[in-house]
Amino acid sequence: MRCLRWAGYIDGIDLNLGCPQRSAMRGGFGCFLMEHPETVCAMIRAAKKATHLPISAKIRVFADDVGTHTVQGRVACVRTGSGAFATPCGHAVGPSTGCRSCAVECDLGASTHGQTHARRAHAAPCPDECMAGRTAGFARQLVNAGIWMLAVHGRTRTQRHHEGQVHFDVIQRICRAVPSIPVIANGGITSRTQAEAVLRNTGCAAVMAASRLLSNVSLFDPSTVPDATTTSDDDGLASMSAKIANARVYLHAARIFPPPGPRFLRDHVAVNFGQDLRWRHPDLYNLLVRNTRVTRWEQFWAIVDVLASRETPDVVPTLPTLRQIKDMAVDATHNDVAVA
């Protein structure tokens, strides 16, 4: 494993089984590897044998577990394309028999979701693997192979663009299925209040946020900077003021802890302002997003200063022009973020 070269510099190895992009589908990696649990578990065991580093994984939820019916708290069997039935864990059932693996009798039921689907609901207690669902069963396999921590994005692989419902109920079942390791909930976290509710309701050890932190770096500390996604007045100035404050918080941190390259600064600041900047200040938007000469920390800070002066006309500091921002000296030795 090539990562072993860096074993002295890293604290752990994370197996990404959550990427749903088309490139992952073509290459057979990311969440598409979840269809091959034996291969995944073999990879984990090989990594454990080769290194002392702890190994974690991130997964998505199987579509099999989404929208399943429950009767008295038990996951229902669902009809397969062949006309037979199967529990979410894959146990086969016949037209009038129960789950063959656990000898549970099932009753035929029906439910309508746009069209009628025949359903079978367990009429008696079923083993844990049936009650928890396919994703929880996969999580157990990962734990048995040797992972020490699991992150779960609560969407399916078809929800590639962060759209749709996050299935926290499935994450809850996973937490109950693998109590020996910490489970991290991921997906759709929009506020500290919601994060705390997810922790309470799922039993997870932590939550993970990504997209919303791009637009509000103070997401989990609302007492520091107003939430830029919710704070606004009639003319929108308060909302933009909050975004300016957020951008400055991020850039201040980036000056102390420089990111690997200027695109990190550009992406964070651009997503922070979103379409507001594009439509209200297209010249600043083009300078920030499209001008390849903007690579230095000082340039990004100056862009935010110019924006602040426009949004708060009563504050008129001495600021550089846009041409002066473009002409700021660029570090000639490497294409990295230059920090004064």
Q: pTM of the full predicted structure?
A: 0.68
Looking at residue 212, its pLDDT comes to 83
- C-alpha dist (Å) from residue 84 to 90, 108, 133, 134: 11, 12, 18, 17
Looking at residue 1, its pLDDT comes to 55
Q: CB of 107 within 8 A of CB of 121?
A: yes
Q: What are phi and psi of 259, to 5 degrees?
A: -75, 170
Q: CB of 204 within 8 A of CB of 198?
A: yes
Looking at residue 325, its pLDDT comes to 83
Looking at residue 160, its pLDDT comes to 79
**Residue 289 belongs to what H/E stretch?**
helix 282-289
Looking at residue 213, its pLDDT comes to 82
Q: What are phi and psi of 109, to 5 degrees?
A: -130, 175
As averages over each run of 10 residues, the pLDDT of the chain (340 residues) reads 66 91 86 93 93 93 72 39 42 40 34 33 42 87 96 91 88 95 94 93 94 80 56 49 89 93 91 89 93 92 92 70 75 42
DSSP state of 335: S
Residue whose C-alpha is closest to residue 296's, from 271, 241, 333: 333
Looking only at the bridges linking them, the beta strands covering 149-153 and 183-186 are: parallel
73 vs 23: CA distance, rounded Å: 38
Q: CB of 45 within 8 A of CB of 34?
A: no
Looking at residue 6, its pLDDT comes to 64
DSSP state of 65: G
Length of the chain: 340
**Residue 116 belongs to what H/E stretch?**
strand 116-122
